[in-house]
Amino acid sequence: MTTPAYQRERGRLAEALKALRVGAGLSGARLADTLGWQQSNVSKIETRKQLPSEDDITAWAGAVGATPETASDLLAMLRGARVEYAAWKDAYRESGAGGVQADILELEAQTTRIAEFQPAFVPGLLQTSEYAREYLH
């Protein structure tokens, strides 16, 4: 199953924030104390359970000594995550999950070629009969 774009964007932001915290030599609890937050807020942001606000990002960046450019990049990631989430939500609001699946089914029906990549499987033309028997056994 493919990860929705908004989750990927949220993940990029969470990873960047965590990397800044770790790079500053702060534990999650220490950062929370510095910001006057509950430690669970730091944890929720870093584990992608909560999307930070602009104020949260600005405070985080200041607490870890991030450059203004880094803070700006983080805010851009936040905006990107919000845009992706809104687009995802709109797609599901309009037609529901069934409608989205129907769109995918229609696209698949119009497709002339579907390819698959299996990095752990030798393609058929290169297989020996022994390899195929062992793999399928």
Going by C-alpha positions, the residue among 135, 111, 108, 110 that lies closest to residue 124 is 135
Give the chain's count of helices (H) and strands (E): 6, 0
pLDDT band at 124 (very low <50, low <70, confident <90, very high): low
Backbone CA torsion sign across 73, 74, 79, 80: positive
Q: Which residue has the higher pLDDT, 54 or 88?
A: 54
pLDDT digits (tens, 9 = 90+) for 73-120: 999 999 998 888 888 787 777 777 777 788 888 888 998 887 777 777
Mean pLDDT of 20-33: 96
Instruction: Map out the domains of the chain with their CATH numbers.
Output: 5-109 (1.10.260.40)
pTM score, whole prediction: 0.65
